[in-house]
Amino acid sequence: MTDATETRTPDSRPTGGLSAQYQPGEVEQRRYERWVSEGYFTADPKSDKPPFTIVIPPPNVTGSLHVGHALDHTIQDTLVRLKRMQGFEVLWLPGMDHAGIATQNVVERQLAAQQLSRHDLGREAFVERVWEWKAESGGKILGQMRRLGDSVDWSRERFTMDEGLSRAVQTIFKRMYDDGLIYRANRIINWCPRCLTALSDIEVEHTEDEGELVSIRYGEGENSIVVATTRAETMLGDTAVAVHPDDERYKHLVGTEVELPLTGRRIPIVADEHVDPSFGTGAVKVTPAHDPNDFEIGQRHGLPSPAIMDERAIITVPGPFEGLDRYEARPAIVAALREEGRIVAEKRPYLHSVGHCSRCKTTVEPRLSLQWFVNTKPLAQAAGDAVRDGRVKIEPVELSKRYFAWVDNMHDWCISRQLWWGHRIPVWYGPAGEIVCVGPDEQPPSGEGWTQDEDVLDTWFSSGLWPFSTLGWPEQTADLEKFYPTSVLVTGYDILFFWVARMMMFGLYAMDGKQPFDVVNLHGMVRDQFGKKMSKSFGNVVDPLDWIERYGADATRFTLARGANPGSDVPISEEWCQGSRNFCNKLWNATRFALMNGATVDGPLPAQSELSAIDRWILSRLQHVTAEVDGYFAAYEYAKVCDALYHFAWDDVCDWYLELSKPVLAEGSAATQRVLGHVLDQLLRLLHPVIPFVTEELWIALTGGETVMTAPWPTVDRALIDDAAEDELAALQKVVTEVRRFRADQGLKPGQRVTAALTGLGNVGIDAHETLIRSLARLDAPGADFATTATLAVTGGITVDLDTRGAIDVAAERARLEKDRAAAEKEATQCRAKLGNEAFVGKAPEAVVAKIKDRLAAAEADLVRIAAALEALPAS
């Protein structure tokens, strides 16, 4: 039975405990706490139901709910609520990522405010301090997930640094090390001089920055050679100049030496096929310790690799530039070269791609460093094959190309980080150069001179294990047996490379070729209503918690889901969220109306022969929309799901069915009361995955059931599809709509009645509905003094003759329409002029041209409508 207290309206009609208005704040927390306490979110590995599993993309422990999270979680929650109703044993597993760099930065900033550094505390005390911060301040996003309505299994919450996941990290590191898939080497890596750690390629954001391209002459006379660079300071570390072996301009110089300016060092000129002879001068300076391509050239030619900067990007080469920051050294070196007459050309500003640390935005410095790497080639091959052979499906399928472009060209992954917060690399070094990798059940070597590697693993290393480590791996747990592989991974296309590829590699490797998930469902980025990227500088950032507070979680979720087309960016606006709130209110009012008018849910539906055409029509429409929604969900078309249900609920149910049914409900028609109860019952079930709170409150009030969350998902009953009833009601709607359009065009007030004669209704079998038509269209029957002043011809041979005398101020209405026509003609003229301008059409973006065409079409439609309205006006 319902847990709501029954209330009655002043006329003593029951409302099922529903207040006059929907107040989300009074419903959401109460309902969520009950869901959790009743265990509705908790998965049972012993269940004989088919499994459906989603592991939540773990938010950073430092994070809070932003609009991207809100979209991602809305989609996931929609899927898991759908699958519960469809009879699956659902596990939606929550958790957080320890976010190595971000979390360490937070705690170090706190220490800095106390004039302390992590080195003042020491490693052990600093890590303890981070754990204290996590306990006190970290993970606030978990509470915010509750506000959104996330139906996650809180009993299985995980953290990438908890004991079980740490064991998984140590196990896979040891296994991959023993298999030769993890190695240590001196290689060029991305280095952040601010965070003082190595970064992987995916942690580097590239932007087009303004710089300076400087051409420098090395050597003298005929044996000189010119190179161009945007990083003049790195010349201090040059150990060669490279040219293409087939470049005739430089063949005579290959094998010779040239003096490196400002240093007095002589360096060789080498031939290497990597050099592009068509770029710049066709000669490149080679700085093996500070450029990945130069490092490869240096390896091929046996060149030395001197480092010229320390970890903070300070010049360390003895001489006049020693101690300068790289950005201080750059202009100083250019000035010194200019003074020696070595500058051949300077180009500024010069736009070029520059890498930045994704956390702190500092410009990344390529740096030769001894680091740990994953040999990704065999792992990436397996990850690509899993998609190619169909074990994993990427939705939308067109984004598979981006996936293949990444995994088929993946570089070895630098996994060591110079941090203290994270999974410490389980490798020990002995006094005689021994290296021992230790597994989770092994004791590290003891004795004098043995030390553990100081570095920790990249955060993405542990999160890459997420689909199986969270289920108990490396132990063979009941959860792992039941819920792996997971069913769907929902994530933004922007981390297809960051996270998806890594989970694929690790899952296939650790789980004997079993993919970590069956489907990768990629969604786009949330943007404003104009398609503009959200940014604090633009002032268009949306705080979903603010929307939840003002409009409710359901309205926020519906707004996000209604814009979520597969792989496409998601536009939203506050106005649309207000519209979603209005939709929730519409459902609330419709359910209250149904309860007040005796809607029932008990027992079977009446036989078709006992139902009116209106009842048969709404039941038929319900079957169609149920089938549509099933199809859209199967294709991950959340926007279309929302759109179909919105229009069915608002248009078919509320605007038409409730209005058409009022007369028979007033008479106490048991058949219509049963149909109304059934339609609302099924509609609330269909809507529940997207807007869970309001549907739960309404469904319980309507049905007296325990929770809609476990109610069976609606199925299509083909016996209820009635084409004849749909045709009949379509004709009725056409008549009413045409009259309403005429009334609006003539400026008639909604409640103002007009006399009209209706002929031809029998042509399409709706003559029995004349009374309803007159009621909906506000039409009175003609009297003795009836005179036709306007005629509407409706399809099917139906004619509506209207007498508008006294209902319309003809002169004022004609003036208004003429003004509207002038505005429409002006708009159409301007649009035609732009589209007739070949220069404009040829240069303007396609989207701009399309928008002008849309404006022209709208203006021309307005002109047709206004002309018809003027013609219909009676003579003044």
| C-alpha 636, offset from chain centre | 13
| C-alpha 466, offset from chain centre | 20
Q: Which of 585, 598, 586 is nearest to 12 (CA)?
A: 598
Q: Which of 755, 700, 691 is nearest to 81 (CA)?
A: 691
Which helix H or strand E contains 707, and what residues bound it? none
The CA distance from 336 to 317, in Å, is: 15
CB 620 within 8 A of CB 722: yes
Q: Give, to the nearest 10 degrees, the angle between helix 670-687 and helix 638-647.
A: 160
What are the start-end ranges of the E strands in 375-508? 393-395, 413-414, 416-417, 427-429, 435-437, 451-452, 456-457, 486-492
CB 828 within 8 A of CB 796: no
DSSP per residue, 213-228:
EEEEEESSGGG-EEEE
Instruction: Work out whether strand 486-492 and strand 517-523 pair parallel, antiparallel, or are unpaired.
Output: parallel
CA atoms within 13 A on the CB side of 162: 15
DSSP per residue, 552-604:
-HHHHHHHHHTT--TTS-EEE-HHHHHHHHHHHHHHHHHHHHHHHTT---SSP
The CA distance from 685 to 689, in Å, is: 8
What is the phi/psi pair of residue 91, to 5°? -120, 115
Task: Return the number of other C-beta atoms located less than 10 Å from residue 56's C-beta.
Answer: 25
CB 250 within 8 A of CB 225: yes
> Two tokens at 681?
């019952």
Secondary structure of 488-512 in HEC code, one letter for each residue: EEEEEHHHHHHHHHHHHHHHHHHCC
Exposed, middle or buried: residue 163 (CB in 10 Å: 0-12, 13-18, 19+)? exposed
The CA distance from 166 to 162, in Å, is: 6
Exposed, middle or buried: residue 598 (CB in 10 Å: 0-12, 13-18, 19+)? middle
Handedness of CA 762, 765, 770, 774 (dihedral sign): negative
Q: In what order do the strands lie in the sheet with 204-218?
A: 225-229, 204-218, 343-357
Q: Which of 738, 746, 814 is nearest to 776 (CA)?
A: 738
Residue 236 pairs with which residues in a beta bridge? none
> Two tokens at 859?
């203006």
The CA distance from 50 to 833, in Å, is: 62
Q: If you ran DSSP here, which 8-state letter would residue 862 be given?
A: H
Could you give the 3-state DSSP secondary structure of residue 283? strand
The CA distance from 465 to 486, in Å, is: 12
User: Is 347 among the annotated ligand-binding positions?
Assistant: no
Q: Which of 356, 82, 77, 408 is nearest to 194 (CA)?
A: 356
Residue 89 pairs with which residues in a beta bridge? 51
CB 229 within 8 A of CB 380: no
What are the start-end ranges of the E strands in 32-73? 51-55
Give binding residues for ATP as ranges: 536
Give binding residues as ranges: 536
